[in-house]
Structure 1
Amino acid sequence: MNEEYMKMANSPIMWIACAIPIIWVIIQAVVYYKKSRSAALKMGIEDIKIKHATKSASIASIGPCFVMITTMLSLMLNVGAPLAWLRVDFIGSVSYELTGAQMAADAMGIEMGSAQMNADFLCAAAVVMTTGCLAWILFVLFFANKMDKVNMVMAGGNKALIPALGAGAIIGCYSSLTVDRVFPIGPNIWAIIVSGGLMMILTYYNKKANKQWIKDWGTSLCMISGMISATIASML
């Protein structure tokens, strides 16, 4: 790895440049939370329920955040800590960001992790990673307030089908994220088996026990257990 490249990628300028949009995202989150809380109170939802929902959502996000942090190291080694921090905070998918950086390297005829990496590559990787996901952001910008109409069109005008379509979309999304990790058979399959099995056990048990801590921590526990099992399997 080019030492000068890493100094540039982790320079104070990069930290400042990447911190500005992240601060903006934090401000947006605060504004959205206040507006959501205000709307919930106007709808007659009790304050204690709002606090409970906020707590549950915060706890449920620990698992996905833990996964992102543990996998972000590979991205940091190629584009530096500031840009990796920025991209993962914006999108949350290290695999997407790595793919974008790799595509930029391939287009420039550069091998990732080699001494060929320079300022041109860093700029190209930043542009590819940013513009490659603009479609998702623009879709949310223009269609988020029209999703009721989109759902009705997709459901053929039948409101009863909308929950089924939502469930199907979630199943399809997570299936696409897991099935392509199964073949060829390897350590990754243990992450799916262990985390999926634990989720089934917790869900079945909590139907009778109705423990709030399981509802809050269940997803995080399953994700972390899957990661640990896959790591152990890869070492054996």
Structure 2
Amino acid sequence: MMWLELVPIAPAYMDVANSRWLWLSTLPVVSVVLLQAAIFLRRAWNDGKEMGLSEEKLKTGFKTGLISAIGPSVAVLAGMLALIATVGGPVAWMRLSVIGSVAFELPAAELGLSQFGYSLGDEGITETAYATAVWSMTLGGTGWLLVSAFGTRHMEKVRTKISNGNEKLIPIISAAAMLGAFAYFLSGEVTAGTPETGAVAVGGLAMLALLHLADSRDIQWLREWALGAAMLVGLLVGVVIQVTLGSLW
């Protein structure tokens, strides 16, 4: 029948990629991530109380963090959809739960497949090539985990040494580090194309406008939603520019 010819046939390796056993094997990894998040949240709440923070401030901080995570989560979700189509649901779920960077995962999978002469989306990808791609993604991200595991405990000593014992400089150094991290991630996007430049510019202006409005009128909920709202505005502007103008450079 003619309609059967129109139905796309999934590559053979996708049977393995979406198998029940692979779902079960990734479940412990994701469970550890969720357990870590619960432990960190509990520790942060208890430490905040020991520092003298009120219940209201703790709840405000929790809501601010939750809302601020919406923007990055949307980007991760969009990337997960692309990753599911190439490496299957279980591996995409596991990898983005641990690392959360599609910008790393897709090139790593491509590198693994290229050793067998394949590329993402090709027909005829073998199970061996798929397994190599998964190993490339897993081992390639191990470095970040090792640095976090063995280096995080020394960060406080480094920050104290940089401030030279001046407690007033510590929040300034922390703020500067955050600004530097955001600037590092944005530096590659600003020159990537017109949609990216527009998204960064409008998102930044939206953030400044929302914070100015929140400070001038003392609107607490607006401070909490400012980052998430600015990310959403920037994302929408980038999509509009891409659809209407495309990339001019």
TM bucket (normalised to shorter chain) is 0.7 to 0.9
Report the Cα offset of residue 162 of structure 1.
4.3
Partners of 1:2 and 1:116 within 8 A in 2:
no
For 2:84 and 2:191, locate their aligned partners in 1 and report how far apart those are by CA, in whole Å: 27
For 2:40 and 2:215, locate their aligned partners in 1 and report how far apart those are by CA, in whole Å: 33
Q: What do residues 20-61 of structure 1 show as CA deviations (whole Å, max 9, x unaligned)? A: 211122122222322332333334333333233222222221
**What SS is found at the alignment partner of 2:91?**
helix
In structure 2, the partner of 1:207 is: 215
Report the Cα offset of residue 114 of structure 1.
0.3
Report the Cα offset of residue 171 of structure 1.
2.8
In structure 1, the partner of 2:40 is: 32
Partners of 1:2 and 1:114 within 8 A in 2:
no
Letter paired with 1:157 = N
In structure 2, the partner of 1:121 is: 129
In structure 1, the partner of 2:233 is: 225
Which is higher, the Rg of structure 1 or of structure 2?
Answer: 2
For 2:16 and 2:160, locate their aligned partners in 1 and report how far apart those are by CA, in whole Å: 50
**What SS is found at the alignment partner of 2:33?**
helix
**What SS is found at the alignment partner of 2:115?**
helix
Please, which of 183, 186, 197 is the counterpart of residue 205 of structure 2? 197
Structure 1 unaligned spans of 5+: none
1:182 aligns with 2:190: yes
Aligned residues: 235
In structure 1, the partner of 2:159 is: 151
For 2:36 and 2:134, locate their aligned partners in 1 and report how far apart those are by CA, in whole Å: 23
Task: Give TM-score, length-normalised by structure 1.
Answer: 0.88
Partners of 2:109 and 2:136 within 8 A in 1:
yes
Q: What do residues 70-98 of structure 1 show as CA deviations (whole Å, max 9, x unaligned)? A: 22211111111211111111112111111
Partners of 2:67 and 2:225 within 8 A in 1:
yes
Structure with higher RCO (Cα < 8 A, 6+ apart): 1
**What SS is found at the alignment partner of 1:3?**
coil
Letter paired with 1:167 = A
For 1:66 and 1:46, locate their aligned partners in 2 and report how far apart those are by CA, in whole Å: 31
Report the Cα offset of residue 164 of structure 1.
4.3
Please, which of 112, 120, 124 is the counterpart of residue 112 of structure 1? 120
For 1:48 and 1:123, locate their aligned partners in 2 and report how far apart those are by CA, in whole Å: 49
For 2:35 and 2:149, locate their aligned partners in 1 and report how far apart those are by CA, in whole Å: 17
For 1:46 and 1:161, locate their aligned partners in 2 and report how far apart those are by CA, in whole Å: 24
**What SS is found at the alignment partner of 2:194?**
coil
Task: Give TM-score, length-normalised by structure 2.
Answer: 0.84
**RMSD over aligned Cα, in angstroms?**
2.2
Please, which of 135, 138, 148 is the counterpart of residue 146 of structure 2? 138
Letter paired with 1:84 = A
The percent of aligned pairs where both chains have the same amino acid is 27
